[in-house]
Chains A and B, each alone.
Chain A
Amino acid sequence: MSWIKEDELNLLEKISANVLKAGPMPKHVAFIMDGNRRFARKKHMERQEGHMQGFNKLAETLRWCKHLNIQEVTVYAFSIENFKRTKDEVDGLMELAKQKFLKLLDERENLEKHGVCVRVLGDLEMLPLDLQELIAKAVITTKSHNKCFLNVCFAYTSRYEITNAVREMAWGVEKGLIRASDVSEALLSECLYSSNSPNPDLLIRTSGEVRLSDFLLWQTSHSCLVFQSVLWPEYSFWNLCEAILQYQLNYKSIQKARDLHQEHQALLQLEADRACVAEHLQHHGNGKPADAQRRQEALLHYTTCREERIQDFLEALKHKRDSYFSDLCSKDVLA
């Protein structure tokens, strides 16, 4: 029931992995691990057992990803909507999570050896305090590891995440760190829980459902979406290869769309900066229209100042988030 599985791939799997690696490979894959309860019903086992099998499958999938050089994996473990389930099931899932995070802390040496950094994304204040403390310990223990990254979305929905990002920007404005005009798509992305990760290249949902269920809606706007009908606990290496092949078939067209979007974003930012500069020059000018060179200098100066402001704000935000975890850890030490 460990987080890390160390076996190698068999010969056929190795060959297939090498064939796939000849093409473009996703660097960050996100999974919606759906189908645990249907699996449990199918195999006539308890729901809790289905969830345990689901966790095992996660560990196995991480092993395959490591062999395929997929550096970052994000998984949807528990949605805020899942709190609506029966108290028994929710308590069972919280208990499972506690066990798994305790196990993770047990295996910290192994995690260090493999360089695994574990992050937990979500509205963690909604979780029981003892689970929050375990999570904080796990995150702080693995913080410096940088070979591969596992992001676990727990007590998470995308709308809450986006709203939180807006709230953080508003906090920045309140504290005088940034201005309302500094708000942009890029800044919002930096304020999301997932700000330390690039956007997922590939999103896989199992069990045949064809929706996103409030998962990474912002980050996956230009990701390859693959919906597979296999139930999560039955997921195989070949299912993963199939999904990666799908990603490779879509690679060029998605890349083109991403580039188009980024170009457009850069243009919007330039226009916004120009508008701010024009307004500033109007207010502080001497009535005469400024010449092109003065406008250009003012634009450069404004852009530099804006970027500095944003850097300072992001530092402050990072500090706030780190303090949340370290406070939880120290509370536990004192207790």
Chain B
Amino acid sequence: MALLYGLIWRLLLILVHINRALVSWVRVRLRSWKGRLWERAIAALLLPLALAGFPDHQKKLNHNPDANAVTGNRAASRRSRWLSDGRSLEKLPVHVGLLVAEEEPSYTDIANLVVWCMAVGISYVSVYDNHGIFRKNNSRMLEEVVRQQQDLLGVDGSKYNVEVLSNSCDKHQHYVVSCRPTVKVLSPEDGKQSIVQAAQQLCRAVENKERSSKDISVSMLDVLLRESKNFPDPELVVKFGPVDSTLGFLPWHIRLTEFISIPSHRNVSYEDLLNALQQYGSCQQRLGQ
């Protein structure tokens, strides 16, 4: 009898996997069909514009001037579209966390996501994976983000200069000016381990008779865990991958964070991100009341 139940259980799992595979296949097909349509529409609208105007650009460029003008225009139209998308949302998170719960992350796709977040108007973006891969390859991440910034936002991408805060012990930590979007690369060490370090700090103070144990309060611990005072708690975490867990992402900071899942970060589209942001817009927080 136990064998029979075991067989049925395995069958059930297979059915669920097939269902998921079908759903994601349909999703990809729909998007590629929509994507081709969009690209053709843009090309049709912008090419005549590029050919007619922008003589200065044509003088400066030494290879196919039309293509570059089109690219410049395309970037400009994308920027304004993304900005207006951001403004049209019911509410926009100030800090978004990108939690990659997949093996072998793709830096290009993550960089795309970061750039889209900034273009839509999000001030703080953090990137996390539970193996600490992003943290180890911090500089590669930064390069990729800068490159995608150029590609997607065009020449005027300098408005969106990225500050990458990586190591909490970094003495050259930049203080964030509020209008500049900031990217933070996180790993599991920033989670429980930093709470433990804060606890050790407080206990050492008690050991040295600088403090009493009764002084320790929630706000005191909160201040210690918020090394850069301007970095707010993430209001939204977008999780990529099939694993339904936070995998150690900043336990202290996620008390009121909304979690929205996207099946994969590979070949993720702007529309996927926008959908997640729209879903976030409809979340209502009662804050205990």
A residues near B (Cβ < 8 Å) are 18-23, 79-85, 157-160, 162-163, 165-171, 173-174, 179-181, 183-185, 188, 209-214, 217-218, 220-227, 245-246, 248-250, 253-254, 257, 260-261, 264, 268
In this complex, what residue of A is CB-closest to B200?
A183
Q: How many residues of B contact A (CB 8 A)?
A: 58
Stretch of B152-160, B178-186, B203-211, B266-274 contacting A (4+ beta carbons < 8 Å): B203-211
- Residues of chain B with a CB closer than 8 A to A170's CB: 202-203, 206, 211, 213, 216
- Residues of chain B with a CB closer than 8 A to A184's CB: 196
Out of B131, B195, B288, which one reaches A162, CB within 8 Å? B195
Enumerate 10 A-B pairs (CB-CB under 8 Å) in ascending A order: A79-B288, A81-B287, A167-B213, A167-B214, A174-B213, A185-B192, A214-B256, A249-B13, A254-B245, A264-B188
Interface check B73, CB cutoff 8 A = no
Contact call A257/B12, Cβ cutoff below 8 A: no
Bound-complex Cα distance A224 to B101 (A): 13
Interface check B23, CB cutoff 8 A = no
> In the assembled complex, how far is the CB of residue B43 from the closest CB belonging to chain A, in whole angstroms?
39
Stretch of B3-11, B56-64, B89-97, B142-150 contacting A (4+ beta carbons < 8 Å): B3-11
Q: Given A19-B9, A226-B244, A261-B248 in contact, is the A188-B255 Cβ separation under 8 Å?
A: no
Contact call A218/B216, Cβ cutoff below 8 A: no
In this complex, what residue of A is CB-closest to B198?
A166
Interface check B32, CB cutoff 8 A = no
Out of B5, B221, B260, B287, which one reaches A210, CB within 8 Å? B260
CB-defined interface of B171-194 with A at 8 Å, one 1/0 digit per residue? 000000000000000001001110
- Residues of chain B with a CB closer than 8 A to A224's CB: 244-245
Contact call B218/A249, Cβ cutoff below 8 A: no
Bound-complex Cα distance A221 to B249 (A): 7
Q: Please indicate which of the listed interface residues B218, B257, B283 has the most CB atoms of chain A within 10 Å of its own CB.
A: B218
Contact call B246/A225, Cβ cutoff below 8 A: yes
Q: Please indicate which of the listed interface residues A81, A166, A217, A261 has the most CB atoms of chain B within 10 Å of its own CB.
A: A166
Interface check B46, CB cutoff 8 A = no
- Residues of chain A with a CB closer than 8 A to B199's CB: 165-166, 169, 183, 188
In this complex, what residue of A is CB-closest to B249?
A221
> In the assembled complex, how far is the CB of residue B136 from the closest CB belonging to chain A, in whole angstroms?
14
B residues near A (Cβ < 8 Å) are 1-2, 5-6, 8-10, 12-13, 16, 101, 130-131, 188, 191-193, 195-196, 198-200, 202-204, 206-207, 211-214, 216-218, 221-222, 242-249, 251-252, 254-260, 283, 285, 287-289
Contact call A221/B251, Cβ cutoff below 8 A: yes
Contact call B206/A181, Cβ cutoff below 8 A: no
- Residues of chain A with a CB closer than 8 A to B248's CB: 221-222, 257, 261
Q: Please indicate which of the listed interface residues A181, A210, A222, A261 has the most CB atoms of chain B within 10 Å of its own CB.
A: A210
Contact call A167/B196, Cβ cutoff below 8 A: no
Contact call A221/B288, Cβ cutoff below 8 A: no
Contact call A163/B243, Cβ cutoff below 8 A: no
> In the assembled complex, how far is the CB of residue B252 from the closest CB belonging to chain A, in whole angstroms?
7
Bound-complex Cα distance A309 to B251 (A): 28
Bound-complex Cα distance A329 to B25 (A): 62
- Residues of chain A with a CB closer than 8 A to B200's CB: 180-181, 183
Bound-complex Cα distance A264 to B191 (A): 13
Contact call A22/B6, Cβ cutoff below 8 A: yes
- Residues of chain A with a CB closer than 8 A to B10's CB: 22
Contact call B243/A253, Cβ cutoff below 8 A: yes
- Residues of chain B with a CB closer than 8 A to A261's CB: 130, 188, 248
